[in-house]
Structure 1
Amino acid sequence: MNVQEALTILKDKGYKYTGKREDILIFFSKEDRYRTAKDLLQYMEPNYEGISFDTIYRNLHLFHEVGILESTELNGEKLFRIKCDHHHHHHFICKQCGVTKEIRTCPMDDIEGELQNFAIEDHKFEIYGRCPECQ
């Protein structure tokens, strides 16, 4: 997803455009990894003196709720990344730097047979470890 697509989603859902929101989206569009609220705050502080964690968290949760950001949890902390907008896949996530690698194999292909009488609504599969640069 790119910044313009994300801004269109916000507008279509009735949320207004702000420079802060666009800058948050620019931050995530440049990153190919999960990032923390603290990472985003450090990125925003030079241009928005006095920006609070409350503002950061409010926007992160809004963007997650409307489907612009994906989230995961590592070491008890919630991390976010721009939502992938292509084919079904899963991720390897580096526990040190947050970089992600797409995994095209889906374990649900094997598991669905075991859940024949259940209505599967969604699933998420992530593998955690260290990328080659962080090993």
Structure 2
Amino acid sequence: MNVSEALAILKEKGFKYTDKRELLLNILAQEGRYLSAKAVLEQMKASFPQLSVDTVYRNLTLLHELDILEATELNGERLYRMVCAGDDHHHHLICTECGKTKKIDICPMHAMFGRPEGFQITGHKFEIYGVCDGCAP
């Protein structure tokens, strides 16, 4: 997803366009990795010195609820990134050091369960954590 698509979804759902939301989305789009609210706040402080971490959290939560952002939890902290473009089903390798992600096109759910009898799977999440080549010692 890109920033223009994200702003269109906000408008379509009846939420206001704000410079803060656009900057937040631009940061996440440019970074292309999972970021904490505090990391986003640090980058936004130059443009909005009075911005609070609560405002950043509220906007990240809203954007996640609108399926504009993906979220994960790492070391007890919630992290966010832009939703991947396209409709293909995939999962991610996530670097625990820098938050960068790499798409993996296989789904272990298919190998593990196929279609379980008497149960309809409506969703799942599968992430693999490790250290990317750029962060490895």
Confirm or deny a common fold (TM above 0.5). Answer: yes
Cα deviation code 1:97-123 (max 9, x no counterpart): 001010101011112337221110101
Q: Distance in 2 between matches of 1:82 and 1:48?
A: 21
Q: Distance in 2 between the 1:82 and 1:113 partners?
A: 29
Q: How many residues align?
A: 135
2:95 corresponding residue in structure 1: 94
Tell me the C-alpha RMSD between the 2 structures: 1.0
1:48 equivalenced with 2:42 (yes/no): no
Q: What residue in structure 1 maps to residue 132 of structure 2? A: 131
Moved more, 104-113 or 86-95: 104-113
| TM-score normalized by the length of structure 2 | 0.95
Paired amino acid for 1:125 = F
Question: d(CA) in 2 for partners of 1:10 and 1:109?
Answer: 34
Alignment of 1:1-135 (within 5 A): 1-86=1-86, 87-113=88-114, 115-135=116-136
Structure 1, unmatched stretches of 5+, are none
- The 2-side partners of 1:113 and 1:99 are apart by 30
Q: Percent identity?
A: 54
Letter of the 1:71 partner, please give it.
A
Q: CA–CA distance in 2 between the matches of 1:85 and 1:41?
A: 25
